[in-house]
Structure 1
Amino acid sequence: MANALDNLYKNQSLIYKYILYAISVGLIVFFFPRGGKFKFDFQKGKAWQYENLYAPFDFSIRKGIEEIEAEKKELLLNKAAYYVFDQSIYNQVQKRFANDFADVFDAANYNTSEREKLFKLGEALLTSIYRIGVFRDNKITGQPYLVKNNEATLIRKHQIITIGSAAVFLDNNLDANLPKEQRTQLLNVLEGVIKANVGYDKELSDKAYADELSKVSFTRGSIPEGKLLIAKGEVVDADNFLVLDSLRSEYESEVWSRDNYYYILMGYAVLVALVLVMLLLFLKKYRPDIFENNIKVTFIFFNVLLMVFITTLVVKRMDGYVYIVPLCILPLILKNFFDARLGLFVHVLTILILGFVVPNSFEYIFLQIIAGIVTILTVSELYKRANLFISVGQITLIYILGYFAFHIIHEGNMDNIQWFTFLIFLLNGMLTLFVQPLIYLYEKLFGLVSDVSLLELSDTNSKLLKELANKAPGTFHHSLQVANLAEAAANEIGANAMLVRVGALYHDIGKMNKPTFFTENQITNVNPHDDLPPKESAKIIIDHVIQGIELARKNNLPDRVIDFIRTHHGNSLVYYFFKKQLDLEPETDEDFFRYPGPMPFSKETAILMMSDAVEAASKSLKSPTYTIINDFVEKIIQGQLKADQFINADITLKEIEMVKKVLKKKLTNIYHLRVEYPE
């Protein structure tokens, strides 16, 4: 039992990865849309590459989205618009007309026969107007129906009278032979009493429109089982594409049945598991430092899951917008936190997973891989805002050019191009800019460090560096010199120059606790080591590494920066005090005089060790010349090589030679003698 628990404890990191792997596979398969996968891949405008295809069962031919939308648009233009006739308003109009007519055409001024004649004319006009009714508005769309006495009657638009057109109707239809005064008075009375009594019935109209929409057929005709659908080598034209697409939809819905459910899930799970196992194998073989760090592995898997989740969600809801998902954020983030090769590899694997569910998978995979490659090749120094904008512009351009090329291949011309898709690509580019705040969020959640954070840490006005400058000005100046040397060397061999510069600025912060015990901070000839035994002096010197680590953690410096503090002396020997101790005690254990390590384990930490040793020792040079500097640099770095300080670092001998050349050149420039000017 004890052995089992001991093995469990030793392998807990590996067990965690297995659990993370299993959960990731399960979640991705859960995200996938519920449906089988059609076994033939085809595209409009390309030849059918398989054997002759016959209908495996009876199925209906589905209409294209554009055709269905055109039918709906036609229905909308000709939809029934219902207007309700209000009889009570008409009764009020008649009553008011009688009252107003009696007031205007009184018995004192008009005889009975004239009044009767005029009243009948007015009544006839009102009856004519209100036979259909007076509409409240002029905006009559679709097919207008008048609902009167619970009966709906189709009316012509030229028959419709509104408040505005009623006056014109009265003027045109009132007897022109009437005396002018009588005609004018009667018109005024009629115009004064007319009120709208026909209103739009939205509820009834919407219900009728919904009924019509429900009758829209999504299919046109059917294909019997056994009919030849397409022959080998035949080009997939528009008609064939509709038939094949209908078969694919029918096939995928029929395959995803209760009987086949678990088989299909198992198939998806195996494919996703293969893709994710490739990711773990890549990390284990080529990025062992990342593989051993569970937080970093979790971070990579989390980003893959996030992109798969967002994309599958869009595919389920509105697959026409699949390109709005800013998939290039993935390589951007991984390149920023790790390296370009890992970013591209994970990006490609994620696209392979998404290829199972997106429409037009070949087109999608091609465009996304090309966009990912452009992302990796163009984005550098992400902390510079202009670089991100330029890169996003190039990514968007690649999407647009790729879509344009595929459209020409499919259609054979530039007709029917979907300009809205270009807007989707522009939105994709705008969403990609969200990578900056996302990087900041990831730094806080996962404790990672990006180039943006490194840029902030490189500010010499930061609290910790200002404290170093005040307490140990010599060490601060030394750190600046080392930072310049290391940054130049890193640029020469393609290492992370920003990281190595920040590491150089902070590598000696442990000297702040006892600054006068380090020669660069001694402003007098008094050396406190003269009064101490060699062992105690060596302990003070060695302790600046441990104290630097503690100080860095207290000030929340990232682990990537603390690594430079831990490794900048490796496990080298404090030779000066060891030699002094040998004179006093020949049997001295040299382990007491060694730094605790570890040794450098990356190009950046190796560069810092070389730059730090060369810069510190260069202070002892007397009347340096190019030959002296050349031999001096060779001696320092050859000593480190013989001590095996770089055996754990992924730096080659060729790169070490390149670093040497940079250090020699920089030191030559620093110690270049100026012409002595006469007084």
Structure 2
Amino acid sequence: MKNLRINRKINPRLIVNFFAQELKLLAFIFVLFLTLNYILLFLSLKGQINISVNKPAPQDIIVPATISYIDETKTAQAIENAKKSVKPLYKYDANVEIEVQNNIVNFINEINSVKEDSTITDSEKLSSIKEICNNDSKIANLLFEIKTDKLNFLKNFIANELNNLYKKGLRDTELSDVIKSIEKDADSLGLNSNDKLIISWLVQKFVKPNFIYDEDATDKAIQDAVKNVKPVVVVLQEGTKIIEKGQKVTEEDIKLLEKIGLYKRFSFFTLSLLFFLSIIEGTLAFYIVHDKKKKLQKISEYFTLLALVLVASYSLGSFSIYTIPALLFLIMVNEFFSFRDVLISTLIFLLNLLTFISQPLFVLLVFLSISIPIVYYINKTKKISSYFVSSIIGGTFVSFVVFILNKNFSLPNQLSFSNAFYSFLNFMFSPIVAIAIVYIFEHIFNEATFLRLLELNDLNTPLLKEMSVKAPGTFAHSLFVANISSQAADAINANSLLARVGALYHDIGKLLYPFYFTENQTDIANIHNTISPSLSKVIIINHVKDGIELAKRYRLPDDIIHFIETHHGKSVIMYFYLKAKEVDPNVSMDDFRYPGPLPDTKETVIVSLADAVEAASKSLGNEEIDYRKIEELVNRLVEDRIKQGELANAEITFSELEKVKVSFVKSLLSIYHKRERYPDGK
């Protein structure tokens, strides 16, 4: 409800300071990533053999573990062979033969018509024939001199020849052969050279192929052939000797060692590339933490998790790329950050792996594409069992996918099974290992992760157990508020577990002086009737400060402490203020106001409202327990909070607030519902 905030003039200096702080944070994150990338680079360079091109190898270079890689040269050659194997494709055009035959007949008829025209002279006839023949004088003279019967004979001869040829199919590449075939048949009939010249000229002028080259179909066939080409995978078994001691090292040897990850060149280009990658990684990480409250702590958490997994990946990756714990990293990020941050972290993780992983990254892409749905499932279900279910399902599925992909690359069965088994172990144990690491880190960084919240939700924790004994009324109130808060949080898709735990601990400050609070005064008189309103005010207000100190002593997460300090916001203890005003009309209302801060998240707003609603609901009599009365009570309390500005910083919309109110009403009605009196007083 940020639209309730009072507009203030923007201070330019504050804006400058804000951007300066953000820029410093971005620079700090960049330096962290640059340092990490260079450390990983030097680690990968430290263990490799010192070799140079055209110099003898100082020792035997042996493959430490079975490695497979794609041979780009052989794959490119296979693609080229596949392209060459595709023959040109043609499409048949039945109209071509009819068109060619008609054109030849029309041409000869036109020649005959000119020759038989008695109205013009022979020179005019020759001129017209020459024009019809496109100014070919030699052919024009032959056509002028040939007799009409002979020309018609040639026409019929050509028609028969073309009829036979078109039945077989004629392509553009076969036209020269067609001319030779017709000339050979003309020889067998005893035709003279002039006749054959006329025939050849007519064939060259009019004949077209009836099978036309289909460029689109041919291109598609080539593309299909290329798609069917599998990458040429070379498998180097463990113990394979690549270079013998004393053998002169070639550039090809260096490239092979680079490909399988046994050698890395140290160059200015490598340093520049890592510098550029660090900028991208730092920017993405900055985007993850820039909107968090404790930015430095959050980047410390993120960077520690990332560095831990990258070091593990460096060690495990030398054994097999299929053991790199991508799922482990994403699950841990999901615990300390949001699912949106998990998606961003996939790219950061991949970019960091480029520092020391030389093998094809398709395996990691497969791992990450399977890991994201698993993390989403864990994030949505919010159950401990989700980790174990995901480990079994994820491990089985990824091993199946890896085996299919390995076989698709024509890897040996033994290697395919080994890679699938490593993948299964990777995904099987990642969620379990993540639980252990998260448990350690959540206590180190004092974070309210899902696992930590589950732990704090246990009513047998020391603080809650002490509250149930020393302040049973407060304990019952907190449990009540926790129940209706979690239901309201579910109604607006907020973090219901966080709201529940925050509500359980929001009043722990009352443990110090439990009998000064009415819910704990069951068998004793109200102590506040015997002391001044000012002293009562101090004790009541101090339960917030006492609660914060007690929470810190028990190392409760800051997110839980935030519920303690915000559940009363800056509201006024109206009862004692009015009581003090009876004695001193000039008493200030601000003296009876809680110090704040105001609730600023959906969860803290819900708990703050639930606390007020639960307390006010105790004033309802049995005859007032109906939907309308409870709804009026809830609406009045929420409206009062809005008017007092208590929700000015809240990240909650009016539509969400309506859903919260409806949830409160349903919860209160289910708890305070009327019961029918048993007959005969039973």
Structure 1 length-normalised TM = 0.64
Which of 302, 305, 327 is the aligned partner of 2:304? 302
Partner of 2:634 in structure 1?
633
Deviations 1:458-514, CA, capped at 9 Å, x for gaps: 222332222222222211111111111112112222222222222211111212222
- Give the counterpart letter for 2:562 in structure 1: D
Partner of 1:644 in structure 2?
645
Asked if the contact 1:510/1:546 (under 8 Å) is kept, the reply is yes
Which of 268, 271, 291 is the aligned partner of 1:262? 268
C-alpha distance 67-370 of structure 1, shift in aligned 2 (>3 A) = closer
Structure 2 residue 39 is matched with structure 1 residue 30: yes
Partner of 1:282 in structure 2?
288
Aligned residues with identical type, % of pairs: 31
Asked if the contact 2:448/2:560 (under 8 Å) is kept, the reply is no
Q: Distance in 2 between matches of 1:352 and 1:41?
A: 23
Structure 2 residue 418 is matched with structure 1 residue 420: yes
Structure 1 unaligned blocks of 5 or more:
1-6, 51-62, 73-211, 224-242
CA shift for structure 1 position 71: 8.0
Q: Distance in 2 between matches of 1:599 and 1:253?
A: 56
- Give the counterpart letter for 1:613 in structure 2: A
Partner of 2:517 in structure 1?
518
Report the secondary structure of 2:652's partner residue.
Answer: coil
Matches within 5 A, 1:265-664: 265-284=271-290, 287-289=291-293, 292-315=294-317, 317-318=318-319, 321-355=320-354, 357-359=356-358, 361-380=360-379, 384-407=383-406, 409-411=408-410, 418-432=416-430, 433-523=432-522, 526-622=525-621, 623=623, 624-664=625-665
Q: Distance in 1 between matches of 2:595 and 2:526?
A: 25
Q: Distance in 1 between matches of 2:26 and 2:358?
A: 32
C-alpha distance 524-312 of structure 1, shift in aligned 2 (>3 A) = closer
CA shift for structure 1 position 579: 2.7
Deviations 1:426-484, CA, capped at 9 Å, x for gaps: 22024312112211221333233433332232222332222222222211111111111
Q: Distance in 2 between matches of 1:395 and 1:376?
A: 10
Cα root mean square deviation, aligned: 4.0
Report the secondary structure of 2:297's partner residue.
Answer: helix
Partner of 1:206 in structure 2?
none
- Give the counterpart letter for 2:322 in structure 1: Y
C-alpha distance 218-469 of structure 1, shift in aligned 2 (>3 A) = farther
C-alpha distance 355-395 of structure 1, shift in aligned 2 (>3 A) = farther
C-alpha distance 49-548 of structure 1, shift in aligned 2 (>3 A) = farther
Asked if the contact 2:233/2:409 (under 8 Å) is kept, the reply is no
Residues paired across the two proteins, number: 487
Structure 2 residue 672 is matched with structure 1 residue 671: yes
C-alpha distance 646-45 of structure 1, shift in aligned 2 (>3 A) = farther
Task: Select between 591-600 and 415-424 the one with higher mean Cα deviation.
Answer: 415-424
Asked if the contact 2:537/2:573 (under 8 Å) is kept, the reply is yes
- Give the counterpart letter for 1:30 in structure 2: I
Q: Distance in 2 between matches of 1:214 and 1:273?
A: 41
Asked if the contact 1:344/1:372 (under 8 Å) is kept, the reply is no
Asked if the contact 2:391/2:427 (under 8 Å) is kept, the reply is yes
Q: Distance in 2 between matches of 1:20 and 1:646?
A: 34
Deviations 1:639-662, CA, capped at 9 Å, x for gaps: 222223233332222222221111
Asked if the contact 2:30/2:278 (under 8 Å) is kept, the reply is no
C-alpha distance 461-362 of structure 1, shift in aligned 2 (>3 A) = closer
Q: Distance in 1 between matches of 2:273 and 2:79?
A: 24
Asked if the contact 1:363/1:406 (under 8 Å) is kept, the reply is no
CA shift for structure 1 position 424: 0.5
Deviations 1:145-180, CA, capped at 9 Å, x for gaps: xxxxxxxxxxxxxxxxxxxxxxxxxxxxxxxxxxxx
Q: Distance in 2 between matches of 1:41 and 1:540?
A: 77
Q: Distance in 1 between matches of 2:466 and 2:237?
A: 72
C-alpha distance 665-46 of structure 1, shift in aligned 2 (>3 A) = farther
Partner of 1:227 in structure 2?
none
Partner of 1:113 in structure 2?
none
CA shift for structure 1 position 217: 9.5
Deviations 1:388-428, CA, capped at 9 Å, x for gaps: 111112322342344245345544x9978611111111220
C-alpha distance 70-520 of structure 1, shift in aligned 2 (>3 A) = closer
Q: Distance in 2 between matches of 1:255 and 1:551?
A: 57
Q: Distance in 1 between matches of 2:349 and 2:542?
A: 47
Structure 2 unaligned blocks of 5 or more:
1-15, 49-69, 81-231
Deviations 1:546-580, CA, capped at 9 Å, x for gaps: 11112222233222221111111111111222233
Asked if the contact 1:355/1:364 (under 8 Å) is kept, the reply is no
CA shift for structure 1 position 618: 0.3
Q: Distance in 2 between matches of 1:257 and 1:639?
A: 69
Asked if the contact 1:488/1:662 (under 8 Å) is kept, the reply is yes
Matches within 5 A, 1:155-194: none
Q: Distance in 2 between matches of 1:579 and 1:334?
A: 51
- Give the counterpart letter for 1:21 in structure 2: F
Asked if the contact 2:403/2:416 (under 8 Å) is kept, the reply is no
Task: Select between 621-630 and 24-33 the one with higher mean Cα deviation.
Answer: 24-33
CA shift for structure 1 position 29: 2.7
Deviations 1:209-250, CA, capped at 9 Å, x for gaps: xxx99599999xx99xxxxxxxxxxxxxxxxxxx9x986757
Task: Select between 273-282 and 620-629 the one with higher mean Cα deviation.
Answer: 273-282
Deviations 1:73-115, CA, capped at 9 Å, x for gaps: xxxxxxxxxxxxxxxxxxxxxxxxxxxxxxxxxxxxxxxxxxx
C-alpha distance 469-46 of structure 1, shift in aligned 2 (>3 A) = farther
Report the secondary structure of 1:485's partner residue.
Answer: helix
Asked if the contact 1:383/1:455 (under 8 Å) is kept, the reply is no
Q: Distance in 2 between matches of 1:17 and 1:246?
A: 38
- Give the counterpart letter for 1:555 in structure 2: Y
Deviations 1:327-364, CA, capped at 9 Å, x for gaps: 21122112223322223322332123324643454513
Task: Select between 607-616 and 521-530 the one with higher mean Cα deviation.
Answer: 521-530
Asked if the contact 2:485/2:610 (under 8 Å) is kept, the reply is yes
Asked if the contact 1:479/1:508 (under 8 Å) is kept, the reply is yes
CA shift for structure 1 position 277: 1.6
CA shift for structure 1 position 597: 0.8
Asked if the contact 1:493/1:658 (under 8 Å) is kept, the reply is yes
